[in-house]
Chain A
Amino acid sequence: MAIYRYDSTFEGFLSCVFEYYEQKPASLSIVPNHHNALSIFDTKETIITDPIKAERVWKGLKQTGGAKTTTAIYRAFLSEKEGIENTLLSYIIKLFKHQTSIEDYTDFDVVQIRKTVKMVGREKHRMDAFVRFRETKDGIYFATVAPDFNVLPLISTHFKKRYADQKWLIYDLNRKYGIYYDLYTVETIELALASDINTPSKATIYFTEEELQYEALWQNYFKSTNIASRKNMRLHLQHVPKRYWKYLSEKRPS
């Protein structure tokens, strides 16, 4: 089996698709280059990301499948799920050959892609909801997140439209990059983040006095608005799984 390794970017993946059509290997597996569990019998090849090739594949996908299809492919890719590249390739081959619609729910790959897209969409929506900004002493509204999937590229427009008049920065602790809005554009940045930035006892070093007061008000509000006689922890946990608690000031023990 042929193995293509790539730099785990979306353009890199599209370059692999381009390469597939050049070489037409009988069977192929596309894996990110940090992936190492490969058999010695496979022919490994590292595919170099080529923006021009990627663009050609992207245009082809758009022409054949339309915007609905390309959005689904992009979102599924952001899941970073193991093997998602191969599911996407398998579907892309069918799309170019038989015009298989992304709404053909009888197709196995379509169902897989759709499920993944849904998971990514949910995570995106959760980030829209669970980001908690704290105003730093430099006047930047700052938040850290650690989403299950790589959703920062999907949330940037939402935050830009909404917080047009404040500087903000959302940082992904797992993937070690953030998006920063400087009142004009949103840029991707990498930071050397202080390790105690989320340590409650160190908060006064980084954040304003007013910030801590508002956080306390919010925690207070969260308690007052609960109806104790309707307590339903099962439902609560379903909506706010525990892995998100550490970023939610209202769920942090005060």
Chain B
Amino acid sequence: MNFDRIKEKLNILADAAKYDVSCSSSGSKRANKNKGLGDSSGMGICHSYTEDGRCVSLLKILLTNHCIFDCAYCVTRKSNDIKRAAFKVQEVVDLTINFYRRNYIEGLFLSSGIFKSPDYTMERLVAVAKKLREEENFNGYIHLKSIPGASDELMREAGLYADRLSVNIEIPTVSGLKLLAPDKKREDFIKPMLKVKNEIIQYKSEKKIIKSTPVYAPAGQSTQMIIGATGETDAQIMYTSAHFYKNFHMKRVYYSGYIPISYDDRLPSIGTEVPMLRENRLYQADWLLRFYGFDVKELLTKEHPNLDADIDPKLSWALRNLDKFPVNINKASKHVLARIPGVGMRSVHKIIHARKYRNLNWEHLKNIGIAMNRAKYFITCDSKDFETKDRTPGQLKSLIMQESASKFRKAYSNQLNLFDTQTPLVI
């Protein structure tokens, strides 16, 4: 192996792949077999964290950054004057195996620029995964990109070797996509997604009858949207997410704050700050949809098209629905407990166990670890002492904000200005 050449390629192709947010390595059920290498049946592991605070779980690279498309938001676009490189199939296999053996990674995340044609590209990605599984008996995690426009036959094969497949819709609105990537159509993204969804359903039902049916993409599908590139609202983003969760059984939708990489005047200019706070609020809303039983309509509406920047979306919902509070901690159902600001799902679980033994008071709740600074205004418990004052949502909000120190406090002022002054694109 020529290490110098590999080093150069790795630099180029890791740098180009890093804008893909997904680095999850959990949710697969692939156990070690025949005393081979690797096991991805447990929980995901982040082996390191880069200085931007993001997890490094998978070797995340492109097979090549040669691309026939010219999408404005992408570093790899055809018209961008950058160094190009391509890995050979065997090189990716060797890197993955050797990194895995040293406990650097949980597996491989392989994406690619589209060279020649979608099928030609997808074929190469599948070849890497196949070689890892069949020749190396590798049972680590493999995440492959579904290349928009790839044939159904290739997508079926991909799922037999990969744990997760994903295709990024990138731009939340159809009109935004048309503006920034005129060569691409929403349907091209949807087609492989639909194929994978249907294969997963089919393989699962067959496995119920015939035990030896192979698993198909056991960790499911995910997708990603770029945030803040086309002036879309939070409502547009979250309704799109809800649609993908519901209709395509997505395991995850990722939100990636747009990082200015181009002087193209259709996009925020270079030097514009990455909207990290907004990204964080969107993830919080996403969690409310997936784990807390919220419907997207409760969080975002026509009148309320954007999430509040200064408070979390659950608190914001609670302030709009004060008639549903206070909640009695010792009586309320799991579903209702989950809606109290400052109470996470772990606390809900603990409350439900603990109250079997005795009624809970403030001291108990503090020990359980709920965020009192928010929760105390929304609950009653086994104590005569509780917040009795009638306050308006505005008063409550400022009271809570005074008492809590958010890590984002510094960010409010300039990020708020940023949103306000940024005029949405007319599209």
Contacts and interface: CB of A to CB of B under 8 A. Distances in A.
Contacts of B101: 133, 135, 141, 163, 166
Contact of A105 (B50, B137, B364): B364
Interface size band for A: 35 or more
A215 to B, nearest CB: 8
Contact of B37 (A133, A134, A164, A238): A164
Contacts of B46: 129, 239
Contacts of B104: 132, 218
Contacts of B257: 230
A239 B48 CA distance: 8
B55 interface: yes
A111 B367 contact: yes
B353 A104 contact: yes
A216 interface: yes
Interface string B3-23: 100110011001101110000
A132 B98 CA distance: 12
Contact of B51 (A129, A163, A221, A231): A231
B339 interface: no
Contact of B274 (A130, A221, A229): A229
B54 interface: yes
Interface residues of B, number: 59
Contacts of A74: none
B402 interface: no
B245 interface: no
B39 A224 contact: no
A233 B364 CA distance: 35
Given A106-B354, A141-B102, A232 B42 contact: no
A216 B102 contact: no
A62 B251 CA distance: 37
Nearest to B407: A234
Interface of A: 101, 103-106, 108, 111, 125, 128-135, 141, 143, 158, 161-166, 213-218, 220-222, 224-236, 238-240, 248, 250-251
7 contacts: A129-B47, A129-B48, A165-B37, A226-B18, A232-B51, A235-B53, A238-B53
